[in-house]
Amino acid sequence: MAGIMLVMLTSSVTNRLRFITDLVLKEMLGLDFRLTGSPEEFIGHPGPKICYAREPTGDGLFIAAAALLFESGITRQDLNISAADGVPVLFETGTQASAIRFDLFAAAFYMVSRYEEYLPFTPDGFGRFPAEESIAWKEKFLGIPVVHLWAEMLAKLLKERYPSLEFRHRQYTYQPTIDIDHAWCYRGRTVIRSLGGAGRSLVRGRLPEISERYRVLTGRMRDPYDNYEYIRMVHEQLSVPPFFFVLFADHGRHDNNVKVTSNDFHKLLHEIDQGGRVGIHPSLASANDPEKFGNEYTGLCSVLGRKVTISRQHFLRISMPGTYRRLIQAGMTDDFSMGYPSHTGFRAGMAIPFRFFDLPGEETTSLVIHPISLMDVTMKDYLRLSMVESLDKIKNIIRTVRAVNGEFVSLWHNESLGDTGRWAGWRAVYGEMVNLAST
């Protein structure tokens, strides 16, 4: 039945339902489908069909519907958590006639829309939604791309009911990404900041740092964060060019890149922007300051001489829906912030890109969200994993993403590739990850 239309009967065709059926049926399973509110059309349809309602109609595959996709507004949900085929599930309906014990469309929507992040929660020190507040962490499925598994449950049911039905699955891809919070460790800073940095090193008893700073600034040593030639080489060998997300902001408490007016910095940006690979890394200070964000964005675009369309939030600070609304207004097409700084895994239960659904606005937007599943700092600083343990974690995540034909997005920093100081040895971990993810 390749190319045959699947018809889905529902009591009401809402924006929520359109969004999640487009994602599950079209994007994940590759099916052509049509939503209808007409029982007559549904009964008369000769091909595959799904009845998504309170009660079954006709002879299609019946999936009992919860209320979530027919509501408006945001309220705390009774998630009715259980397991099906060993997989955690939400919105169990308890309807005996249903072909599946839970409302997979409501469950998928809850995860992908990040519904829980609109509800009251206790933020962390940076104002972020913590992983520990999520249902995925509480129920121990953060490491599982559950929406993909739910979609495969549906595919299995449809295949059993309609054996000739063909699914068009997407292919696994890899997108490496690198954050540039500090273009260089010592270069590109004002004299005052350089003297202040040397003073801090002296007070803390880190005398080798003072010598290192002097040798870098006098041209006798390469800056430890200047790893761009290594990055270019490792990615060219495997034909997987990375995206670079650049902090282009005035100096602040948590935003301390080099001077945005530095000619050397501008030259670097042009060098790494081959094929439009540079994106904006909005500062933490701009999170609640639209004017500051606008200045950073227009400044970066001006230096590059083009419109920047990709972004990642500094410190992965997302606030629903304000962060994404601001990005859309600026003209962003893709964002790479959907992940937790403290844990690896699948924040939205997803391992492929998906469009941002503006829950208060009840609309699907143009912004494409690319979930990230791991970060260097997460493994080393938050989880305190050794390099060997980190590589095991990386291998497991790559296998998991490959198994669902997803997009593996890694997040690394240029400074962690210096192979010196606290990051000594981690360049080898990165090289092995890129090789495993690319081949």
Chain center to CA of 345: 10
- 177 and 143 housed in the same domain: no
Q: Are 280 and 248 in contact (CB under 8 A)?
A: yes
Count CB atoms within 10 A of the CB of residue 69. Answer: 25
Q: Are 426 and 387 in contact (CB under 8 A)?
A: yes
Residues of the domain holding 100: 6-161
The reply to whether 414 falls in a domain is: yes
- For residue 28 the two structure tokens come to 């994940």
From CA 339, how far away is CA 67, in angstroms rounded? 28
414 sits in which H/E element: none
The reply to whether 194 falls in a domain is: no
pLDDT, residue 195, reads: 40
pLDDT, residue 209, reads: 65
- 143 and 239 housed in the same domain: no
For the chain, give the mean pLDDT: 93
- 36 and 84 housed in the same domain: yes
- 147 and 257 housed in the same domain: no
Number of Cα atoms under 13 Å in the Cβ half of residue 415:
13
- 346 and 408 housed in the same domain: yes
The reply to whether 209 falls in a domain is: no
- 80 and 228 housed in the same domain: no
> Does residue 395 have a pLDDT over 70?
yes
pLDDT in tens, 12-21: 999 999 999 9
List the one residue out of 281, 411, 296 whose CA is nearest residue 345.
Answer: 411
pLDDT, residue 275, reads: 83
Q: How confident is the model at residue 193 (pLDDT cuts 50, 70, 90)?
A: very low
The reply to whether 201 falls in a domain is: no
The mean pLDDT of 206-220, rounded to a whole number, is: 67
What percent of the chain has a predicted confidence (pLDDT) above 70? 93
> Does residue 190 have a pLDDT over 70?
no
- For residue 93 the two structure tokens come to 């309906």
Q: How confident is the model at residue 431 (pLDDT cuts 50, 70, 90)?
A: very high
CATH of the domain at 311: 3.20.20.370
The reply to whether 68 falls in a domain is: yes
- For residue 328 the two structure tokens come to 């859309």
- 180 and 39 housed in the same domain: no
- For residue 208 the two structure tokens come to 């080798």
> Does residue 204 have a pLDDT over 70?
no
> Does residue 278 have a pLDDT over 70?
yes
> Does residue 148 have a pLDDT over 70?
yes
> Does residue 386 have a pLDDT over 80?
yes
- 93 and 149 housed in the same domain: yes
The reply to whether 197 falls in a domain is: no
From CA 124, how far away is CA 111, in angstroms rounded? 20
Q: How confident is the model at residue 214 (pLDDT cuts 50, 70, 90)?
A: low
> Does residue 200 have a pLDDT over 70?
no
Count CB atoms within 10 A of the CB of residue 125. Answer: 7
- 231 and 155 housed in the same domain: no
pLDDT in tens, 88-134: 999 999 899 999 999 999 999 999 999 999 999 999 999 999 999 99
What percent of the chain has a predicted confidence (pLDDT) above 90? 86
pLDDT, residue 199, reads: 55
Count CB atoms within 10 A of the CB of residue 238. Answer: 15
> Does residue 192 have a pLDDT over 60?
no
184 in helix, strand or coil?
Answer: coil
360 sits in which H/E element: none
- 238 and 145 housed in the same domain: no
pLDDT in tens, 170-181: 999 999 999 999
Length of the chain (residues): 439
The mean pLDDT of 23-29, rounded to a whole number, is: 98
pLDDT, residue 196, reads: 44
Q: How confident is the model at residue 211 (pLDDT cuts 50, 70, 90)?
A: low
> Does residue 216 have a pLDDT over 90?
no
- Number of folded domains that form the chain: 2
- 85 and 143 housed in the same domain: yes
From CA 50, how far away is CA 42, in angstroms rounded? 9
- 109 and 232 housed in the same domain: no
pTM: 0.93
The reply to whether 167 falls in a domain is: no
